[in-house]
Amino acid sequence: MPLRVNADRLNQSLADLARIGAIDGGGVCRLAFTDEDKAGRDFVEARMRALGLEVRIDAIGNLVGIRPGREEGPIVMTGSHLDTVGRGGRYDGALGVMAGLEVLATLQEAGITTRRPLAVAAFVNEEGNRFTPDVMGSLFFRGDLDLDAVRATVGIDGTTLGDNLDRTGMAGPDDFRDLPLRAFVELHIEQGPVLEEDGVTIGVVDGVQGILWHEFRVQGASNHAGVTPMDRRQDAGFVAAAIAAQVRHLARSIRGQRATVGTLEVEPGYINIIPDRARLTADLRNPDAVRLREMAVRLLGFAQEVAAAEGVALEHRELAHIPPVRFDEEVVAAIEQAAKACGYTHRRMTSGAGHDAQILATRCPTAMLFVPSVGGVSHDVTEYTRPEDVAAGANVLLHTIRTLAA
């Protein structure tokens, strides 16, 4: 029987973390750079220190705890994120961080020091709900983002990210751009229905689909709802609604395409006033980069046409662009072998959700593993993964890391 993590301790840790930012219905709200987000990170940092890890924090709050190996050199890193969507669950992101710490605790108790150093990372702002882009922490970690530009980012509540960093004290002095990495492995809940429907415990993830986030702002003219003839309107609300409907329509005609309008606001927002302003966002995903781009181009073309016909001004902005990735075959195979060694059923799959691993993949050999989400539900307070599946994921993570760090 291979070494196992302490399943009770891990599930208890997840429950303890879920109390921070708890919301009605059993969910969690720890939007990035809020006090709740900071409290969640403090909780994890304290766990890292209790494990004797060397704690490092960068200028936007990415948190990494390092455990030395028998030799110096490139690190085998695991981890995920601690922020949540605005109405999220207890497992998205949290599982990968807490399972990483549980793996290190298990090795500690077993008196095992791996040849290579190990690390657990908690990336900031993976969800991008309050400040875009999403996966911001891992993008910064990889060296893609300029600190001043990140700090100047304005959130949905009108505050800047920099002010929130200063208020919460989340920033630290470290820089991870030169951190030598042997591999990165991220454990996550599947968030979809495939594993449960197939009756399989471990998803061996070999790639992630691409993500585009687009924003449309419409400027029309407000006027009286009863008096203004239909052919003399500059109705920003109508244009926004037409774009939203087209998002669904186009997605049905492009293979592999998923598309969501998650925000749609009209102003001034009264029943008998034609809206003069509207804003909506489109979340577009496809495993194929060419089809994803086609979706975006056709949507923008439609938006420009409908705006011109209505005589309103249209502004368009790309908020995030994360290309699809294929994961490293050696790391994928190590996960598969670990699942086999632990005696769990497993299958290969592509991730529909975006992840920090998608960004790390161009920095070092990277892959992910999934455990089942009951009912395929995520980004919702009812998100749930069974305690035995939580433990299974952590066990496979443990053995994958041992292999990569040997």
How many residues line the site for ligand GLV (CB under 6 A)?
4
82 near ligand GLV (CB under 6 A): no
In terms of CB distance, is 64 or 353 closer to ligand GLV? 353
Report in angstroms how near the CB of residue 262 gets to ligand GLV at its nearest: 9
Report in angstroms how near the CB of residue 87 gets to ligand GLV at its nearest: 13
The rounded distance, in Å, linking the Cα atoms of 242 and 190 is 33
Q: What is the b/e burial string over 51-89, where b = at least 16 CB atoms within 10 angstroms of the residue's CB? A: bebebbbbbbbbbbbbbebeeeebbbbbbbbbbbbeebb
Provide the mask over 134-163, with x wherever binding to ligand GLV is found by CB under 6 A and - wherever it is not. x-----------------------------
Of 295, 305, 283, 284, the C-alpha closest to 239 is 305
93 near Mn ion (CB under 5 A): yes
The pair phi, psi for residue 105, each rounded to 5°, is -65, -40
State how far the alpha carbon of 323 is from the alpha carbons of 9, 290, 297, 358, 379, in Å. Answer: 37, 10, 16, 8, 21
Helix (H, G, I), strand (E, B) or coil at 14: helix
40 near Mn ion (CB under 5 A): no
3-state helix, strand, coil in the chain (%, to 5): 40, 25, 35
354 near ligand GLV (CB under 6 A): yes
For residue 152, the surrounding DSSP H or E stretch is: helix 147-152
127 near ligand GLV (CB under 6 A): yes
Single-letter amino acid, residue 100: G
**The one segment of 89-97, 175-183, 222-230, 278-286 that binds Mn ion by CB under 5 A:** 89-97
State how far the alpha carbon of 162 is from the alpha carbons of 169, 338, 343, in Å. Answer: 10, 42, 47
Q: Residue 356: which of Mn ion, ligand GLV, none does it interact with, CB under 5 to 8 A by kind?
A: none
Q: Residue 354: which of ligand GLV, Mn ion, none does it interact with, CB under 5 to 8 A by kind?
A: ligand GLV
Report in angstroms how near the CB of residue 82 gets to ligand GLV at its nearest: 13
Report in angstroms how near the CB of residue 35 gets to ligand GLV at its nearest: 22
**The one segment of 93-101, 217-225, 231-239, 247-255 that binds Mn ion by CB under 5 A:** 93-101
The rounded distance, in Å, linking the Cα atoms of 351 and 24 is 28
Report in angstroms how near the CB of residue 71 gets to ligand GLV at its nearest: 36
60 near ligand GLV (CB under 6 A): no
Q: Residue 206: which of Mn ion, ligand GLV, none does it interact with, CB under 5 to 8 A by kind?
A: none
The rounded distance, in Å, linking the Cα atoms of 87 and 53 is 32
Of positions 36, 92, 186, 389, contacts Mn ion by CB under 5 A: 92
Report in angstroms how near the CB of residue 96 gets to Mn ion at its nearest: 8
Report in angstroms how near the CB of residue 127 gets to ligand GLV at its nearest: 6
Of positions 101, 119, 122, 353, contacts ligand GLV by CB under 6 A: 353
Report in angstroms how near the CB of residue 351 gets to ligand GLV at its nearest: 8
Single-letter amino acid, residue 29: C
Determine contact, residues 388/7, Cβ cutoff 8 Å: yes
Residues that bind ligand GLV (CB under 6 A): 127, 134, 353-354
Residues that bind Mn ion (CB under 5 A): 92-93
